[in-house]
Amino acid sequence: MTIGAAFTELPDLASRTLGGSVVWANDELFAERENLIRPEPPTFSTESFGHKGKVYDGWETRRRREPGHDEAVVRLGAAGVVHGVVVDTAYFRGNYPPHVSIEATSVEGYPSPEELRQAGWETLVAKTEARGDTANSYPVADRRRWTHVRLSI
């Protein structure tokens, strides 16, 4: 790889192939949290229904009527430096998050969701606008080593 290559050309640290997993999400009413780290491109089928209704390739939460946000914590399959994050809102045209933020922490082993909630988190991407039906790319300048990332929408 050449210096200055796009971060999307680097290995995906959250990949299930490397052992990445979504260890916690506060809500998954419409679509499961594991969709956040699926390696294949999202698809849309008008005929796909499951036990929760329409099947989506993304993580979709219930509509929030009170202040706050939704969160999901991803355990990186390989601890390392996060050069960027892609939040893909493909096929989410009217129900996408208007903003995202990404934080990271480094906790060795397999901490519980409660231990992760109490960990010290550092901002990698401050609250930033997101667009619908787009692979939203956010470069990260911090070059420290991380084991977990938290997406807030």
3-state secondary structure of 17: helix
How would you class 5 by CB atoms within 10 Å of its CB: exposed for 0-12, middle for 13-18, buried for 19 or more? Answer: exposed
- Rg of the chain in Å (alpha carbons): 15
Number of Cβ within 10 Å of residue 92's Cβ equals: 22
How many whole angstroms separate alpha carbon 116 and alpha carbon 96?
26
Q: Which of 59-73, 94-108, 110-124 has the lowest mean pLDDT?
A: 59-73
Higher confidence at residue 94 or residue 141?
141
Task: Work out the average pLDDT over 82-98.
Answer: 85
Antiparallel, parallel or unpaired: β 84-88 and 71-81: unpaired
Domains and CATH numbers, the chain: 7-25+70-152 (2.60.120.260)
Higher confidence at residue 97 or residue 65?
97
Q: What is the pLDDT of residue 51?
A: 58
Which of 78, 101, 103, 90 lies closest to 131 in space, CA to CA?
90
Task: Work out the average pLDDT over 54-76.
Answer: 70
Kindly tell me if the per-residue pLDDT of 152 is higher than 90. yes
- Could you give phi then psi for residue 84, rounded to 5 degrees? 180, 165
Higher confidence at residue 86 or residue 63?
86
Q: What is the pLDDT of residue 141?
A: 96
